[in-house]
Structure 1
């Protein structure tokens, strides 16, 4: 049996895109090993394939990336494999070197435009470092997967490399909704799920909650600015209107999402990464059959307007956002969401992935 080693820098628990890739490889007859790292907050993981998580001395800053890439290089060097799958730029260097040294096939799955993430905007040295790696390696890649047409267009123009588009659409599974873990007192609920980082529009949504007395805003996830947001909520005395659910497992999240009345994805236009983003949560909302409010950015806007499954926020002011939300009724989008859910299915995206793995260069 051929062995595929899939590498990421996260702790494996919540990366559903990578999980779907691994499941597809298993279906194709590969022996799969998924490699990531272990954090203090990491919970046990059980998959149909093998997993390995590095215990690192450093889990933040440039030292983390240096240590992880060093460990990954030597692990890959002495591991049996036929296929390497690198997820994002922070795992590419060791995968590329090993693929050349040992003449192994390499697939690069870019979940974002890594050098354009907002976290690197003010870190010129770090950004130049990652850009230099990308410029040296990307033009030589033969099997590249990206998450949206905008990202594909960016890389194809920058490096003249063809990119396959595989959107991060959730699997079609039947989930029994749970009760919300708090008393919402008959109020409508707004949901944000995902990373709690800068540029996600969460500050704007919190401001808008002062004008949305009949709503509760649920935030599911964790990240760099979580404490800042909690302080903002406290200062505005909105503790009864904004609920921090914390980091939820995929199954628990899928059970809660359908209970919301509206899902939001309000990324700011902070560089090309967000501009061309097609976030997982947009598809998660669609498959949970809840309407969405998205930023006026090309990829998200196209999905919402083409399928008529929500609204696009044109004016990023709290008054305008609150008015837009008040104008929405979950029931009016029900038919469009059911139809879109069938059209935007993982079964279609999976066939694209299978074709890629069967025709590797």
Structure 2
């Protein structure tokens, strides 16, 4: 979330739509990702700390009113900003209140299908839908990350305005291939390496990937690059299986080059929630820019991506399907696959859509 928010802030600054961008977040006690331009982008984390990951969602929701109060105290006396951006549904209530108090504009950046998140119980999902439906009339415009999610929102809120701004990485010029990842893992030249980038949490196909690679020979490797609640379990599997690896995340500016040391990118989430089913994660674009073919599950945006980019496989999101596919792949076979004829979408090609929204909001009536 932070990297997308920073890119949006830099786009506003570089285009002249803003002179200063400030981010207010929760003080979770962890070191936050540093902004790429600390002279113009400013991050402030406000108390109280949220309930830790893994705690009941009701407790995490219950901590929000105190954070709302901190945010309100922070900005209530100020009138020196022109646009408020809520980067998820949890921050939308206080953003709407601040919009009404400051009489400015409000942009809702839905980083996923916010009311249909993975793992939410029916009561929480119902409460989220009610809250969003009450707040949406106060939103001036909404950003979404895939066309499928935009279609869902347009059906639900036909009077609101939506723009798809995909969560693509910033890539300028050719990507320099790197063997750092393979060297770090100590792989032999002929050994195949699959990579998963991102949060290591349930619902993302990680458990299915582990089960598949437990059954594969030692020359078929998978590496999980990221952090999350599954990291400890993955580390235990890495201790007992030579072909399963876990590494910490790398800086966003280094992800694409780092991933280029792998042979295949994998994302086979089952899509149990609508948010996952309609998702178009940034890792797909990172794999593409790294020059990797991809293995994806048969979800609408995933299939469209593979058909559009023309390099990859679509499979059922099961351990058996992944195992059978990888078993028949060799590194030499993957390296002989045709290269992409055009450059994949990047933030540089996606940002004009965002700038169009900024321009529209700058010239619209207040509130």
Common fold by TM > 0.5: yes
Question: CA shift at 1:178, angstroms?
Answer: 5.4
Question: CA shift at 1:261, angstroms?
Answer: 0.4
Could you report, residue by residue, the CA deviation over 1:111-167 in whole angstroms, capped at 9, with x for unpaired residues?
A: 1112211131x3x44333322210101244221110001110111111112310111
Question: What aligned pairs does 1:276-355 form with structure 2 within 5 A after superposition?
Answer: 276-314=278-316, 316-328=317-329, 329-336=333-340, 339-341=342-344, 344-355=345-356
Contact 1:310 1:333 in 2 (8 A): no
Question: What aligned pairs does 1:106-117 form with structure 2 within 5 A after superposition?
Answer: 106-117=106-117
The aligned counterpart of 1:251 is 253
Secondary structure of the 2:295 match is: strand
Contact 1:269 1:297 in 2 (8 A): yes
Question: CA shift at 1:321, angstroms?
Answer: 0.8
Could you report, residue by residue, the CA deviation over 1:172-207 in whole angstroms, capped at 9, with x for unpaired residues?
A: 235543512221233211110111111100111111
Of residues 106-115 and 64-73 in structure 1, the stretch that sits farther from structure 2 once superposed is 64-73
Contact 1:200 1:265 in 2 (8 A): yes
The aligned counterpart of 1:171 is 170
Contact 1:108 1:143 in 2 (8 A): yes
Question: CA shift at 1:210, angstroms?
Answer: 2.4
Contact 1:308 1:333 in 2 (8 A): no
Secondary structure of the 1:89 match is: coil
Aligned residues: 339
Question: What aligned pairs does 1:35-184 form with structure 2 within 5 A after superposition?
Answer: 35-42=24-31, 45-48=34-37, 49-60=40-51, 61-79=60-78, 80-120=80-120, 122=121, 124-160=122-158, 161-173=160-172, 176=176, 177=178, 179-180=180-181, 181-184=184-187
Instruction: Report the TM-score, using the length of structure 1 for normalisation.
Output: 0.87
Q: Tell me how far apart the structure 2 counterparts of residues 208 and 170 of structure 1 sit (CA, whole Å).
A: 29
The aligned counterpart of 2:21 is 32
Q: Tell me how far apart the structure 2 counterparts of residues 56 and 243 of structure 1 sit (CA, whole Å).
A: 36
The aligned counterpart of 2:204 is 200
Unmatched runs of 5 consecutive residues or more in structure 1: 1-9
Contact 1:195 1:221 in 2 (8 A): yes
Q: Structure 1 38/45 Cα, relative in aligned 2: closer, same or farther at 3 Å?
A: farther
Secondary structure of the 1:118 match is: coil
Unmatched runs of 5 consecutive residues or more in structure 2: 52-59
The aligned counterpart of 1:3 is none
Report the aligned-residue RMSD: 2.2
Contact 1:289 1:334 in 2 (8 A): no
Q: Tell me how far apart the structure 1 counterparts of residues 30 and 337 of structure 2 sit (CA, whole Å).
A: 38
Question: CA shift at 1:222, angstroms?
Answer: 1.2
Question: CA shift at 1:333, angstroms?
Answer: 4.0
Q: Structure 1 37/51 Cα, relative in aligned 2: closer, same or farther at 3 Å?
A: farther
Secondary structure of the 2:314 match is: strand
Question: What aligned pairs does 1:202-281 form with structure 2 within 5 A after superposition?
Answer: 202-213=206-217, 214-231=219-236, 237-238=240-241, 240-281=242-283
Q: Structure 1 266/65 Cα, relative in aligned 2: closer, same or farther at 3 Å?
A: farther
Could you report, residue by residue, the CA deviation over 1:255-287 in whole angstroms, capped at 9, with x for unpaired residues?
A: 311111011111112111011000010011111
Q: Tell me how far apart the structure 2 counterparts of residues 93 and 141 of structure 1 sit (CA, whole Å).
A: 11
Q: Structure 1 151/36 Cα, relative in aligned 2: closer, same or farther at 3 Å?
A: same
Task: Using CA pairs under 8 Å that are at least 6 residues apart, name the structure with larger relative contact order, 1 or 2.
Answer: 2
Q: Structure 1 349/44 Cα, relative in aligned 2: closer, same or farther at 3 Å?
A: closer
Instruction: Report the TM-score, using the length of structure 2 for normalisation.
Output: 0.85
